[in-house]
Structure 1
């Protein structure tokens, strides 16, 4: 899909239902000591797909797409897309913090999307597409602040608008959204979702 395609057309091409689905359960039991990371970076199909591809054999146990940061209960995809619920489309990662440090996930997060556009990502516009890190502990908050400051100063020229907020209630997206791009080969991917080549953060 062309990056210049109007946002309203791209949204029309994103279905509210689908007949295809994959098993959405993790491949095996998740060990004790696993942690969660919750990140919003625009359309959650591409975000989930990129994190699975990058970290599948590096300590990532599971990745689910869903909704966070809103003020209504049991949000649906349709209601979130309306912009009326306050939720962001997000991915919740379950990972082994020993083999996959939380900071590695954050660095990749800042590489794989554009954190300088407020309430939009590529052709997708609306608060549901905002950039956000939803932290699950004081340690995650400290690490998110540190990585964000470095990425902002060294990569993004002081323009990062990513929110860093406590992780509130998480709502799984409907089953047909889970592993969407594994089921729907060639499905919509936001053109801003690509890994950028930046030097290591110092």
Structure 2
């Protein structure tokens, strides 16, 4: 956590250490670990016919969650940010204290005619993070790294609740799901240097160990949903 913060201070100043210049000592899930194969949700939301929709997920460091969903067909935009707290504390330094109520999150804008909310949930639980880790994710610890779904509508909340119950019943994860379902959505975009971090820094050790394997799991487990070219915040499609 401290090394990640020091790196971001360097980034904010306009430079970065890559490759062997920065060793990341971590107890993160190994890159060789497999994502969990899970069934799709029994309940899902049909296309509303009203254009794009938004989903907000929190699953640890937002670099990896954003990077995964930027490679999902039907996603038009995935932005790293903060959810659960107020606008006055929506900054990386404040959120890193763990006392703001915020979680690092990603706001996903998607076309429900191309990808359903249920499919986004399936990807979130299967490859984007480990939903059994309480107030942490890999090497990052604290409530700001909690697993959470910020439902943007009562219909989303109902589908998410049903899916958590369904997945817990399968016992595929080996441990109970601790994902929080939060029905008061908020989202504040993170600082510019956080956006598209995986794409811009593919050799940074944290990304190599923790996040690039997630994209590979997406490609392997959801080949029909995967697209090779990510949709980026700074260079939108």
TM range (shorter): 0.7 to 0.9
Larger Cα-atom Rg: 2
Query: Aligned residue for 1:98?
Result: 113
Deviation at 1:168, TM superposition (A): 2.7
Q: Alpha-carbon deviations, 1:65-101, whole Å to 9, x = none?
A: 0000124525211111111211000000000112110
Q: Which one has a larger percent helix, Structure 1 or Structure 2?
A: 2
CA contact (8 A) 2:78 2:107 kept: yes
C-alpha spacing 1:95/1:72, structure 2 compared with 1 (3 Å): closer
* 3-state SS in 1 of match to 2:90: coil
Q: 1:60 aligns with which of 33, 50, 75?
A: 75
Question: Following the alignment from structure 1 to structure 2, what is the Cα–Cα distance between the partners of residues 110 and 153?
Answer: 14
Long gaps (5+) in structure 2: 16-48, 222-237
Query: Aligned residue for 2:29?
Result: none
Residues paired across the two proteins, number: 179
Deviation at 1:152, TM superposition (A): 2.2
Deviation at 1:175, TM superposition (A): 1.0
Tell me the C-alpha RMSD between the 2 structures: 2.4
Report the TM-score when normalising by structure 1. 0.79
* 3-state SS in 2 of match to 1:116: coil
Report the TM-score when normalising by structure 2. 0.68
Q: Alpha-carbon deviations, 1:115-173, whole Å to 9, x = none?
A: 11111000100111000000011110111012212222222235110000114321110
Query: Aligned residue for 1:141?
Result: 157
Over 3 Å off, 4+ runs:
7-16, 195-198
Long gaps (5+) in structure 1: 1-6, 21-30
Question: Following the alignment from structure 1 to structure 2, what is the Cα–Cα distance between the partners of residues 100 and 76?
Answer: 31
C-alpha spacing 1:174/1:8, structure 2 compared with 1 (3 Å): closer
Query: Aligned residue for 1:78?
Result: 93
Query: Aligned residue for 1:117?
Result: 133
